[in-house]
Chains A and B, each alone.
Chain A
Amino acid sequence: MFDDGRVLRLLDERGLAGWEALAATRFFETATAEGRLIAAQRVDEPTPDVAAALEHPRVPFVSYPYEWTFSMLKDAALLQLDLLEGALGEGLTIKDATPYNIQFVSGKPVFIDIGSFEAYSPGEPWIGYRQFTRLFLFPLLMTAWANLPFQPWLRGNMEGPTASDLRNALPLSKRLRPAALLHVSLQAKMEQRMSGAAVRDQLRSAGFSADLILTNVRKLRKLITPLEPGSSGRGWVEYETCDHVGRDRAAKGEFLEAELARHRPGRVLDLGANDGFFSEVALRSGAVAIAVDGDEPVLDALYRRGTSVCLALGDLTNPSPSQGWAGTERPSLMERARPDLVVAYGLIHHLIYTASIPPSGVMSWLAGLGCPVVVEFVAPDDPMVAKLTANKTDPELHPGRTRAEFEGIIARHFETLATRDLGDGQRALYSLAPR
């Protein structure tokens, strides 16, 4: 619940009991001090029909697992396991296991759903195990063992791939590994055989204990820790050193700094952020910086460097929509980003020449974001554009590509606040404010 910028969590009687049990543990104290669990403070709020209210610090940018890189999902999975192990050590459990309960703050995963903790009832199995496999383990195995990106799966199915889905995706050599036989093939078979059977009481009577959960958790950690992405795509890891990007960086950085000083934005959205160089310029100005890029290896490298920039992996020709229950449970990328300034360096020529979006469509989309934009124009005779259009003839390209035409399009949507030519004049920077 958001109230004047504050984040409040309202608890019913059961939630209050869970919170009191959690707040009394040393585990809660250390996990919040280490930043692995979001801080929470009980507040007196005149809210009817609730037992209590907690206040949390605000997460600067909410991202979803289908916008995460491999290392982000892996770190989130390990955090989920660590917290479950810590909670069980003090008589608590986590009643679900979903990455939607984890957010990235200052480059680190933080568990945000205090309401997921409750007292562990002796003999209870781990209710979140299947969810953990579908939303953490299987997506990671899909990328590590089958060399398939997990993000389209998570975006397409809010519950994640089933054991049968993953079994079908894995190559035979991986399907025969012990972990795959147990977590994937056996789970698929048992789910099919035992659908709808009541087994919790039988497990309790048969002597199920928290030790069995802990053994499973430790084995899962051992399985997940060494996982690395398969060799999917070489991406743009070398982009900075092999192209014009590095060459114009100083000038582009200075131009951006001047615009940051002019607008003093609270939130900067860096579209086509590549290795995050300009996002970090924005971050240094004191803004929340959100880097969006479609290149997973580059964004993953940025994450692993420990950046405090908020990250979202995504294709800007198809950004995350509003989806989930009622089509609103998970708001769209742009609804969550809410930028005060947009940076679009080295971006629009990719949209125009690779994705074939008309220049007028690109600029009206940027204007629709409703805030000032710092944009880089690239002329049709630029060597990079020549590469992008190597197999296109003139009639296959949209009008509006020359600088004069581009400035005409700009004038329809924006007021130009500043411009700067780069290098040999084939590129130029514009600071624009929507009309």
Chain B
Amino acid sequence: MIFGYLDAGSGSLILQAILGGAAGILVAFKAWKARLMGKRAVSEAQAETEEQPVTTEH
């Protein structure tokens, strides 16, 4: 490759933990859970922002 940095692929990275055997499946599960929690935290933060009353100044 002329350009040395490749796209590792998110799914392929998580898959590697599963391919690492029993210990890896636990790691994959934890990483997947952390990702879900991260997503939920983001969506909750967004929901809170949307619920704040909008004040306008004239």
Inside 8 A of A215's CB, which chain B residues have their CB?
Answer: 19-21, 24
* In the complex, A127 has a CB within 8 A of chain B: yes
Chain A interface size, under 10 / 10 to 19 / 20 to 34 / 35 or more: 35 or more
**Residues of B1-46 whose CB lies within 8 A of A:** 1-4, 6-21, 23-24, 26-31, 34-35, 38
Q: Are B30 and A325 in contact (CB under 8 A)?
A: no
- Bound-complex Cα distance A216 to B21 (A): 8
CB A83 to nearest CB in B, in angstroms, measures 17
Return the CB mask of A202-218 against B: 1 if under 8 Å, else 0: 11011110011101100
- Bound-complex Cα distance A100 to B20 (A): 26
CB B15 to nearest CB in A, in angstroms, measures 5
Inside 8 A of A1's CB, which chain B residues have their CB?
Answer: none
Inside 8 A of A192's CB, which chain B residues have their CB?
Answer: 11
* In the complex, A237 has a CB within 8 A of chain B: no
* In the complex, A95 has a CB within 8 A of chain B: yes
Closest to A131 in B: B6
- Picked from B6, B9, B19, B30, the residue with its CB within 8 Å of the CB of A207 is B30
Q: Are B20 and A187 in contact (CB under 8 A)?
A: no
CB B17 to nearest CB in A, in angstroms, measures 6
Q: Are B27 and A191 in contact (CB under 8 A)?
A: no
Q: Are B4 and A96 in contact (CB under 8 A)?
A: yes
Inside 8 A of A418's CB, which chain B residues have their CB?
Answer: none
Return the CB mask of A172-207 against B: 1 if under 8 Å, else 0: 000000000011001101111111111110110111
- Picked from A100, A193, A208, the residue with its CB within 8 Å of the CB of B31 is A208
**Residues of A130-144 whose CB lies within 8 A of B:** 130-131, 133
Q: Which residues of B contact A (CB under 8 A)?
A: 1-4, 6-21, 23-24, 26-31, 34-35, 38
- 26 pairs across A/B with beta carbons < 8 Å? A95-B4, A96-B4, A125-B13, A128-B6, A130-B7, A130-B8, A182-B15, A182-B18, A183-B19, A190-B12, A190-B15, A191-B12, A193-B11, A194-B11, A194-B14, A199-B13, A203-B27, A205-B31, A205-B34, A206-B17, A208-B31, A212-B19, A215-B19, A324-B2, A325-B3, A329-B2
